[in-house]
């Protein structure tokens, strides 16, 4: 491009600060490149920072020690069953081969500290090649105080992952907190958490510094970014990609401090802006109907990287099984019109004493199925009966024990949720049916049939509690089926759930080197994609926990390696 004035020159420009972007930036720096990372928002971490943080990396170095020896043949068999032709074989193979190398690379350099799950079934454990653990890893707890004053630049987690106004908790913590008055071990664990949190707030931190889940993952990467003195610019959206006459991407124009700056990227640009879950127009073209802005992703993930890549000649991938990674979402609308979304991922649906019904008052799904499969079942059911929204229903005993969405367990206040219309309460099933607008006699019959079987630990209609994955999320202390119990203790409660998502699966087509491809399948020199800006290597299928962050890190690492070592 002639006549352009470059305001800054670097080897690599990374757009987006989630797992994919930070992995690309860190790898490029480790390999000797000068790197600049730009982030549209005022916080580092993207979708990663508000996620559950799991990484699905089969054949990682901890698999065998976790008690689940694995093999490429087994993993490939499982992916063929779950993903199949929805993603190209060369991309799946590149992911499986590079994933363990990526983990070894980042771990050996002190960038990531993770632990493989000893018990965590793949989402379809009855299929050939599935594993009961070892393939998914979790980031270890991270002390946010290590970030110093930059702690405030890390994106906060979802409120649903915190209690007491900012103390992060995981499932183990919640179980201890709920049993704190009944067990000395639980009380001791709970007191340790609360005292640490109180000390954080007393020292002036805006939230707790004990970081877990995806917030810990983002913090680990951010800490490594700071330690390597990688330049990062917040509040700096990318506006345009610059190309030469041959089509090679030379750099990008960004907005910073009220000015447009042109950044020259000698080796290339990596797009990792989080997909398009908050782009209404692209959602309308891509998602099944009906749909709405029910995403759990950050609201700034509006497809910037995909649009800019397309403007440079990149093509969208094809052949996906699903355009998004689904999750049922309930919505609390406040008096000022703001909406709070709650993702019903793993905490309530699988527990004993909850059912889901459609607008006809009938069950339509195994409530313990994965969040992705649950929403797919909503859409299938909607073809024959109104199922959007659907309703999660429980009784008093259930909500006191497990909670329901934003209604917390343990006798926490919930009247404000009832007053807001988020939580529906009624003394009888007939009255609840009237509140939901479903046929009362049908709902009564549905619950009676479910109760009769649940009391025996059976679900002949949908098989709730029939798989290892179902039981993993149930109540291990409840027999004979950890996922089944009758609904019998009035009053009854319900929340409406919508077909939300935790990110998009449609993105820019890429090759095994993470290079963006044009419509003819040729790589565009100087342009890379990672994270949800890349067409999902899972093809929109959801085989197990961590199949978004695992590929994001892996292809970010691949992009960083290619930037450093390929002929440019």
Q: What is the DSSP letter of 237?
A: -
Q: What's the pLDDT tens digit per position in 62-79?
A: 999 999 999 999 999 999
**Arithmetic mean of pLDDT, 302-307:** 98
Q: What's the pLDDT tens digit per position in 461-505?
A: 999 999 999 999 999 999 999 999 999 999 999 999 999 999 999
Q: How far apart are CA 326 and CA 328, in angstroms?
A: 7
Q: What is the mean pLDDT of the chain?
A: 96
Kindly report the number of other CB atoms within 10 A of residue 85's CB atom: 10
pTM of the model: 0.95
Check residue 243 and give its pLDDT: 97
Tokens of 535: 């067409």
Check residue 170 and give its pLDDT: 87
Q: How far apart are CA 134 and CA 512, in angstroms?
A: 25
Written as one string, the DSSP assignment of 495-508 is: EEEEEEEEEE---B
Q: Which of 390, 391, 396, 407 is nearest to 353 (CA)?
A: 396
pLDDT band, residue 1 (cuts 50/70/90): very low
Q: What's the pLDDT tens digit per position in 365-403?
A: 999 999 999 999 999 999 999 999 999 999 999 999 999
On the 0-12 / 13-18 / 19+ scale of CB atoms within 10 A, 335 is: exposed
Q: How far apart are CA 22 and CA 350, in angstroms?
A: 34
The answer to whether residue 197 scores a pLDDT higher than 50 is yes
Q: How far apart are CA 330 and CA 424, in angstroms?
A: 12
Q: How far apart are CA 367 and CA 467, in angstroms?
A: 12
The answer to whether residue 442 scores a pLDDT higher than 60 is yes
Reduced to 3 states (helix: H, G, I; strand: E, B; else coil), residue 281 is: helix
Q: What's the pLDDT tens digit per position in 332-354?
A: 998 888 899 999 998 899 999 99
Q: How far apart are CA 382 and CA 389, in angstroms?
A: 9
The answer to whether residue 299 scores a pLDDT higher than 60 is yes
Beta-carbon contacts of 60 under 8 Å, excluding residues fewer than 6 positions away, are: 99, 100, 103, 116, 134, 135, 137
Q: What's the pLDDT tens digit per position in 82-116?
A: 999 999 999 999 999 999 999 999 999 999 999 99
Check residue 510 and give its pLDDT: 98
In this prediction, what percent of the chain has a pLDDT beyond 90? 92
Higher per-residue confidence, 206 vs 174: 206
Check residue 2 and give its pLDDT: 56
Kindly report the number of other CB atoms within 10 A of residue 286's CB atom: 17
Phi first, then psi, for residue 6 (nearest 5°) are: -90, 125
Give the helix/strand (H/E) hosting 226: helix 213-227
Are the CB atoms for 92 and 83 separated by under 8 Å? Answer: yes
Q: How far apart are CA 502 and CA 54, in angstroms?
A: 13
The answer to whether residue 328 scores a pLDDT higher than 50 is yes
């Amino acid at each position: 491009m002639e006549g352009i004035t470059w305001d800054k020159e670097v080897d690599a420009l990374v757009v987006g600060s989630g797992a994919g972007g930070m992995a690309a930036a860190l790898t490029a720096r480790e390999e000797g490149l000068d790197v600049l990372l730009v982030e549209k928002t005022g916080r580092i971490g993207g979708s990663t920072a508000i996620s559950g943080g799991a990484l699905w990396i089969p054949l990682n170095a901890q698999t065998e020690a976790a008690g689940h020896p694995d093999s490429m043949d087994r993993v490939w068999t499982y992916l063929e069953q779950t993903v199949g032709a929805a993603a190209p074989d060369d991309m799946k193979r590149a992911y499986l081969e590079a994933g363990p190398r990526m983990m070894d690379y980042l771990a050996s350099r002190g960038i990531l500290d993770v632990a493989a799950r000893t018990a965590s079934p793949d989402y379809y454990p009855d299929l050939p090649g599935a594993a009961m653990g070892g393939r998914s890893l979790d980031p270890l707890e991270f002390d946010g105080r290590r970030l110093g004053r930059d702690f405030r630049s890390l994106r906060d987690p979802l409120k649903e992952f915190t209690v007491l106004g900012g103390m992060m908790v995981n499932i183990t913590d919640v179980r201890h907190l709920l049993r704190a008055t009944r067990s000395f071990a639980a009380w001791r664990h709970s007191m340790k958490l609360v005292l640490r949190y109180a000390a954080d707030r007393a020292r002036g931190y805006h939230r707790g510094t004990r970081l877990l889940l995806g917030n810990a993952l983002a913090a680990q990467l951010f800490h490594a970014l700071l330690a390597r003195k990688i330049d990062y610019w917040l509040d700096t959206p990318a506006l345009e990609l610059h190309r030469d006459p041959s089509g090679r991407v030379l750099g990008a124009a960004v907005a910073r401090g009220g000015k447009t700056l042109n950044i020259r990227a000698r080796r290339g640009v990596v797009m990792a802006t989080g997909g398009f879950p908050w782009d209404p127009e692209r959602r309308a073209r891509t998602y099944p109907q009906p749909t709405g802005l029910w995403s759990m992703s950050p609201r700034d993930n509006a497809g910037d990287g995909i649009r800019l890549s397309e403007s440079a000649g990149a093509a969208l991938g094809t052949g996906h099984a699903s355009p998004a990674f689904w999750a049922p979402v309930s919505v609390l609308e406040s008096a000022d019109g703001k909406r709070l979304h709650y993702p019903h991922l793993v905490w309530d649906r699988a527990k004993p004493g909850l059912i889901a019904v459609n607008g006809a008052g009938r069950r339509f799904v195994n409530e313990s199925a994965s969040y992705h499969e649950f929403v797919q079942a909503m859409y299938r059911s909607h073809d024959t009966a109104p199922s959007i929204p659907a309703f999660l229903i429980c009784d008093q005993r259930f909500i006191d024990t497990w909670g329901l969405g934003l209604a917390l367990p343990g006798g926490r206040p919930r009247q404000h949720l009832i007053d807001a219309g988020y939580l529906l309460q009624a003394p009888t099933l007939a009255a609840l049916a009237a509140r939901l607008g479903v046929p009362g006699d049908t709902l009564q019959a549905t619950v009676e049939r479910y109760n009769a079987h649940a009391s025996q630990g059976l679900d002949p209609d949908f098989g709730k509690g029939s798989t290892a994955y179902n039981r993993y999320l149930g109540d291990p202390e409840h027999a004979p089926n950890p996922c089944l119990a009758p609904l019998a203790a009035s009053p009854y409660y319900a929340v409406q759930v919508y077909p939300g998502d935790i990110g998009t699966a449609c993105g820019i087509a890429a090759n095994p080197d993470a290079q963006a491809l044009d419509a003819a399948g040729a790589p565009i020199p100087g342009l890379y994609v990672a994270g949800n800006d890349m067409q999902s290597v899972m093809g929109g299928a959801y085989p197990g926990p961590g199949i978004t962050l695992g590929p994001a890190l892996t292809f970010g690492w691949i992009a960083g390696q290619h930037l450093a070592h390929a002929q440019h």
